Structure 1
Amino acid sequence: MVRIDNLTVSYRQHPALHHVSGEFANGSLTAVIGPNGSGKSTLLKSIMGLLTSAGGRVQVNTPRARIAYLPQMTEIDRSFPMPVRDCVLLGCWSALGAWGGVDTGMLARADAAIHSVGLEGFEERTVGSLSSGQFQRVLFARLLMQDADLILLDEPFNAMDSRTTAALLDLIKQWHAQGRTVIAVLHDDVQVRAHFDQTVLLARELVAWGDTATVLTQANLLRARALAEAWDDSADICHTDEVSA
């Protein structure tokens, strides 16, 4: 589904990702894990095409309209007084565009998605009135509406209670069972071991990529921590001869 080839992404000419290569197979369920500042969110944004690479390339083998992306909660503004149902219907944007109309079938799908995340009765509530866990459920309902081949989740369980986390993990497992490709940035290695078959371990550069049991070894985790602590953002600018793509 996604091929990463020698990818380098820089902020202020210092690398956030440094010469990373690997492949996400069709239908795979992969966690991206690593210390803070290790490039996890940068990897997802690069797959989405939101960042320009300093070198290497990202190849995604599905149309942009078939990709669903959930950013970190802190990147989403909830101040606009939008009802829950309307927020969920935004998942139809790629099919409707700016001027398309919502039909009864889409309304029924939206209500079914809201029900599936346990928020029946919240359809007319504004998103700003919801708790963080409730709002994250709304965003997962919106992902359900997108019906995507590739689903990118950036810290989907951050600050979530255990009940919400369990419900959202069930949805992720359903997507995996349906043959969708899911890539999730996570922090909890115990959670990763329990629920994700594949893992990418980053520390700005690639530490390990493959089966979770072989990636999340004590040696690899210690190496990732050492690499993260060794990075110096005041060091000389990283130059690359690779062609941006």
Structure 2
Amino acid sequence: MPERQSAIRCQDLTLGYNRHPAVHHLSGNFAHGSLTAIVGPNGAGKSTLLKGISGSLKPIGGHIELASHKRHNIAYLPQAADIDRSFPITVYDLVSMGLWNTIGFFRGISASGKNKIADALHAVGLTGFENRTIGTLSGGQMQRCLFARLILQDAPIILLDEPFNAIDAKTAHDLMHIIHHWHHEKRTIVAVLHDTELVKRAFPETLLIAREPIAWGETSAVLCSENMERSRSMTEAYDPHAHDCERAA
């Protein structure tokens, strides 16, 4: 079988904070059009890896290569806890931010852009919510709003950090349908998830990490009991007071 084209390539990648590694010595590829889950114990570096790919966190060592070489070709959904919902902004305005890469910050929204916003809101089931402030939304409604913004970004690479955390089952089902639609369009999707049963059902590929990579490949092979036990033991053995990681020779 020929090797698939890489959308994201990690080479001896180390990421961390204050020179202390949270993810280290990760090498591998997210293939173009792949649908990959990142799983691992709490504190395994899953969210840190997405921040590195998105460009919001610079590597301590190694590097990340994008096939497009352009960070604006990435759509990134952060964790819900990272979003300030007290900011007085409407659903319409938040969703419209997905057009900024194409219209800029200071240009008005064209009729075509307004139609795209309406279509995105319809796709996530939020038609009629345009004038609601985001602080009045439920957790599920807020996540739908953020998915509408992702739709408008129209990016070839989509990063999702715990997209189903603390939302209702109906919303999770509807958003998973959108993810599968993106996958059908050959976009490259990487999602941090905790629900391994969902991963087994819906994600063909998985990266299992515990600060270091444990396994990466077909989900059924990666999420075996031996790998899961190894990931737990590696996280439990982590020493937060250890010296900074040195690059391998």
Given the two structures, how large is their TM-score scaled by the length of structure 1? 0.96
| Aligned 1:188-207 pairs, distance under 5 A | 188-207=195-214
- Aligned equivalent of 1:61, options 52, 63, 67: 67
| CA deviations over 1:78-112 (Å, ceiling 9, x no partner) | 11221111111100011111211101111111011
Deviation at 1:241, TM superposition (A): 5.9
> In structure 2, what is the equivalent of residue 13 of structure 1?
19
C-alpha distance in structure 1 between counterparts of 2:131 and 2:58, whole Å:
39
Residue 162 (1) aligns with residue 169 (2): yes
1:48 maps to 2:54: yes
* Mapped partners of 1:66, 1:10: distance in 2: 24
Aligned positions of 1:135-214 closer than 5 A: 135-214=142-221
Contact 1:54 1:240 (8 Å CA) reproduced: no
Matched, 1:39 2:68: no
Gaps of 5+ in 1: none
- In structure 2, the CA distance between the partners of 1:103 and 1:168, relative to structure 1 (3 Å rule), is same
> 2:4 corresponds to which residue?
none
Q: Which amino acid in the other structure matches residue 49 of structure 1?
A: G
* Number of the residue aligned with 2:223: 216
The residue aligned with 2:29 is 23
Distance between the aligned counterparts of 1:108 and 1:13, measured in 2? 46
2: CA distance between counterparts of 1:223 and 1:102?
51
User: Match for 2:187: what amino acid?
Assistant: R
> Cα RMSD over matched residues?
1.0
For 2:212 and 2:228, the matched residues in 1 are separated by: 13
Q: Aligned ranges for residues 63-78 of structure 1 at < 5 Å? A: 63-78=70-85
Asked if the contact 2:55–2:71 (Cα under 8 Å) also holds between the matched residues in 1, the reply is no
Distance in 2 separating the partners of 1:186 and 1:231 = 21
Question: Structure 1: how far apart are the matches of 2:106 and 2:24?
Answer: 42
Q: Deviations over 1:212-236 (max 9, x none)?
A: 0010000000000000000010122
Which residues of 2 match residues 73-152 of structure 1 at below 5 A?
Answer: 73-152=80-159
- Contact kept in structure 2, 1:4 and 1:59, CA below 8 Å: yes
Q: Percent identity?
A: 50
Q: 2:236 aligns with which of 198, 220, 229?
A: 229
**Greater CA deviation, 195-204 or 71-80?**
71-80
CA distance in 1, matches of 2:247, 2:180: 39
Distance in 1 (alpha carbons) for counterparts of 2:144 and 2:105: 25
Hey, what's the Cα distance between the residues in 1 that align with 2:57 and 2:233?
27
Larger deviation, residues 191-200 vs 9-18: 9-18
Q: Return the offset for 1:239.
A: 2.2
Cα distance in structure 2, aligned partners of 1:232 and 1:64: 33
Q: Give me the whole-angstrom Cα distance separating, in 2, the residues matched to 1:69 and 1:75.
A: 12
Distance, in Å, in 1 between the alignment partners of 2:248 and 2:227 is 29
1:9-28 CA-partner distances (Å, limit 9, x unpaired): 12233210110111000000
Shift of 1:53: 1.1
